[in-house]
Structure 1
Amino acid sequence: MEKMEVKLGSLSFFTLWFGAAISIAEIFSGGLIAPLGFKKGVLAILIGHFLGTFIFVLGGIIGSKEKVSAINSTEKSFGIYGKKLFGILNVLQLVGWTAVMIKSASSSLNAISVELWQFNNNIIWSAFIGVLVILWIWHGNKGIKYVNGVAVTLLLGLMLFVAYFIFKNPAELNKTVEGAMSFGAAIEISAVMPLSWLPLAADYTRQGTSVKKDAIGSFLGYFLGSSFMYIIGLGAAIVIGNSDIGTILLGVNLGVIALGVVVLSTVTTTFLDAYSAGVSFLSITNKFKEKSVAISMTIIGFGLALFFPIETYESFLYAIGSVFAPLFSIVLTDYFILKRKLEKSIKVDPVALLNWIVGVGCYYGFVKLDFVLGATVPVMIIVSTLYIVCRKIFNSRKFIIEDSNRIA
């Protein structure tokens, strides 16, 4: 995939991230919070999204200022090998998201087609979504600025209609939903969704025209869009007992229009996953073209979607948080607080790498602890503090491995 030829302004970033947020994944995630109740659930959604989106935007600012992709921004903190490691992890995350999106979309489309035409074939619907994503990738990035704006407008109108259907009887929101969900876990499930876009944010903001305006557009677009989708999923799980978008759309008698909603919302989001998989792959090796890699990742995602167990979705979200929360805590600390500037590339930085490993362990510790503010924020604060202390204690220039035979 060629580099974007069209510069993106603040409105483009708003529609880009608002469109990314209007997806099945957000609605399904909001449904997971239903056992907490509607009022507490909405509060947790807003808190989690504010914290997660703020962190996500900070990563985007680095791309705006330095004109580098998200994964390439990790090289100054972790070195060349560290960047390659996180490039691999990010590609795996993005392939996972591609599989999740195709799997959930095919399930919803299949439910709709069974109801309308008695057509039942998940594999066909999965392939249909995969082909559309590939066609979007092949067309190129101009779709981000033009087609995505139209898609977001249509989807927003339809989602407002769905929201009216779900919330027209407020008394029904007082229903009790079986299951266990703490306030801290709800915040974490909300925060980890924008966090999952953090390794992608700079891939797009590097094409921006104004650091401040692009950051504001990105924040408002994702915060408003994703919070709205989560709340729809939360309300649907409470009112109708199901957060599957296909079931919801059939419930409001949208018929064939329901198919279009699912297809548009899936393709606009999955395109971003596949595109950034191509960008991240180039941080590992530059022997392939971004477009070819993105198409290949879509095909792999399609294959995985046929076998992906959707019941492991919550664990998938936690896995993303455990890797990228401590990772970007170090990157953001280096850039905004320590302002470290290395004169030449290094192979690997053990201080940063060890702090990241500690952060991964801390993340799962906080998940088990069920902390009231979730795991992402406290772990990022702990890792950042620990990293600053380590940098003060050790002269980083003495603990950087510059090649395989000596230590600088």
Structure 2
Amino acid sequence: MSTSNAVPSTGSAPGEAPLTLAEPPAPVLGLRDTFGLWANLGVSLLLPVAAVFVVLPGRPLSTTLGAIVVGAVIGATLLGLAAAAGARERVPTMVLLRGLLGRRASALPTAVNLVQCVGWATFEIVIIAEAASRALDAPRWPFVLAAGVLATAMALRPLGVARVLARYAVWAALAAVVYLFVNVLAEPLPPLTDGAATSFWTAADIVIALPVSWFPLVADYTRHARSARAAGVGAGLGYGLATIVMFTLGVVALAAYGSAGFDVIDALLAVPLGALAVLVLVTVELDEAFANVYSTAVSAQNLVARADRRLLAVGVGAVATLLALTFDIAAYEPFLFLIGAVFVPLAGVLLVAYATTPRGAWDTSDTAPARPLFLLPWAAGFLAYQLTLPTYFAGPGAGWTAWWSARQADLGIDPANGWSASLVGLAVAVGLTALVCLPGVLRRRRTAA
């Protein structure tokens, strides 16, 4: 059961995303559109900037590249499965969670996602402005304003923007990335000595986090897909391939130029016509900011179903732009990864519960009953994640890291265990969810027999 049984409104343009949850979504995105959209969303300057965190210093380059591929496959598979579920139910992700937790309890992940989306929108605006100001040797603040205004404007017509990104922008991004790869690979690649990953699985963990960070947003778009297959294959394959490409670009740039973090951008600017290629990627980066602004508005509609998403998007865009102008988003980054740790186990809980629920019985209506048992595997997965690898905070938030480190000591867990926190959290969440679902599955089988 979905929210599409409400009386349709005529407020939205034909073939465009509905203005409220009272309108049914338009199934206008095919496999090509979905693949192009998610490949474009995966082409982000955030990935090469963060590549230093996946590098295994003193290990062969092939080991780091292997961790990138493994992490991308795991994360993109989870993303694709959630995308397919959203396409079948024709609802945004936060509304999809009504079928898991119930109408009222779905407000909990919705509130967390609102914080996450505003934070990532702000972070993307900062990255766009930083890269553009370095490429053009100009002050940063005008680019912050321009990026905020453009991302907000794009969020007003999201499906039209998605089709443009899929058909045109993805090719411009591909050309820029190929050009940068050719120039970077022309340099000698000495052994990597700088890097923050301590094991193969901690490196893969960073890569897994990127596709899974889109899990709370994916159905906001794939509810408009023509089929679950187009949604799942397009989102998973498109974002997975882009993740591999962009992390690899960052790693080889680090090897070639010895640059990490935002200095990677300076290194790419140094190649012939590098400024032009980076500016193309800066323009393409707008889609990440737009997607976060739009999804903040759509997520909010799970709480206020009849609110106009356009008004919500304008408010969100204004807040994200203001934060990008006044806030040190780098200090906020650990909180964003902490929120990501919340959604990794939740993805596992949702996918197991959805797979074991009979087709057509997933209730996303306003009267969806509470299912508090599913809060337990979600919470257990988050606890397992933090006990494996506590989210690192410095300064005022250091107490969080210290508390979880003390709990590791109490349980005899080696802080340098080298495990993947994402996979441990997922395994705990999936296993406990399977136990919660098992009685219902056995009961249905007995009834069928």
Q: Please indicate, yes or no, whether the TM-score normalized by the shorter chain is above 0.5.
A: yes
Percent identity of paired positions between Structure 1 and Structure 2: 24
In the alignment, what sits opposite 1:260?
279
Aligned to 1:103: 126
Please state how far the C-alpha of 1:377 moved relative to its aligned partner.
2.2
Any conservation in 2 of the 1:88–1:284 contact (CA below 8 Å)?
no
Which whole-Å CA distance do the structure 2 matches of 1:177 and 1:269 have between them?
A: 28
Give the aligned CA root-mean-square deviation in angstroms: 2.6
> What amino acid does structure 1 have at the position aligned with 2:424?
P
Which residue number in structure 1 is paired with residue 32 of structure 2?
11
Is this contact kept in 1: 2:27–2:225, CA < 8 A?
no
Structure 1 Cα separation of the partners of residues 336 and 191 of structure 2: 27
Deviations 1:43-64 (A, max 9, x none): 1111111001101111111111
- Aligned-partner residue type, residue 298 of structure 1: G
Q: 1:41 to 1:320 in 2, by over 3 A?
A: farther
What amino acid sits opposite 1:330 in the alignment?
V
* CA shift for structure 1 position 313: 6.8
SS in 1 for 2:389: helix
Partner of 2:224, secondary structure, is coil
Change (3 A) 1:173 1:93: farther
1:126 counterpart = 2:172: no
Relative distance call for 1:191 and 1:321 in structure 2 (3 A) is same
Structure 1 counterpart of 2:236, one-letter code: F
Q: Which moved more, 1:151-160 or 1:295-304?
A: 295-304
Distance 1:125 1:200 in 2: 26
Q: Give the Cα separation in 2 of the matches to 1:90 and 1:387.
A: 22
The CA deviation at 1:25 is 1.4
Partner Cα distance (1:156, 1:45) in 2: 19
Inter-CA distance 243–236: structure 2 relative to 1 (3 Å threshold): farther
Q: Contact (CA 8 Å) 2:56, 2:198: kept in 1 or not?
A: yes
Inter-partner Cα distance in structure 1 for 2:335 and 2:244: 20
Q: TM-score by structure 2 length?
A: 0.80
Q: Secondary structure at the match of 2:113?
A: helix
The question of 1:161 aligning with 2:179 is answered yes
1: CA distance between counterparts of 2:154 and 2:279?
16
Q: How many residues align?
A: 389
Partner of 2:345: 326
Q: 1:71 to 1:11 in 2, by over 3 A?
A: same
Report SS of the residue matched to 1:80. coil
| Equivalence for 2:206 | 189
Q: How many angstroms does 1:372 deviate by?
A: 4.6
Instruction: Give CA deviations for 1:111-146 in whole Å, capped at 9, x if unaligned.
Output: 1222xxxx3x22222111111112222344212112
Q: Which residue of 2 aligns with 1:379?
A: 425
Structural mapping, 1:236-385, within 5 Å = 236-240=253-257, 241-244=259-262, 246-254=265-273, 257-258=276-277, 260-309=279-328, 311-312=330-331, 315-316=334-335, 318-339=337-358, 341=361, 345-346=367-368, 348-368=370-390, 369=415, 372=418, 374-385=420-431
- Take 1:216 and 1:155, find their aligned partners in 2: how far apart are those partners? 20
Select the residue among 82, 86, 92 that pairs with 1:69: 92
Which stretch has the larger CA shift, 14-23 or 254-263?
A: 254-263
Displacement of 1:277 after TM fit? 1.2
Q: 1:9: Cα distance to partner? A: 0.6
The structure in which a higher percent of residues are helix is 1
Paired letter, 1:351: L
Matched, 1:79 2:102: yes
CA distance change for structure 1 residues 346 and 204 in 2, over 3 Å: closer, same or farther? Answer: closer
- Gaps in structure 2 of 5+ consecutive residues: 1-11, 19-24, 391-414, 442-449
Structure 1 contact 192–317 (Cα < 8 Å) conserved: no
Superposed displacement of residue 373, structure 1: 5.1
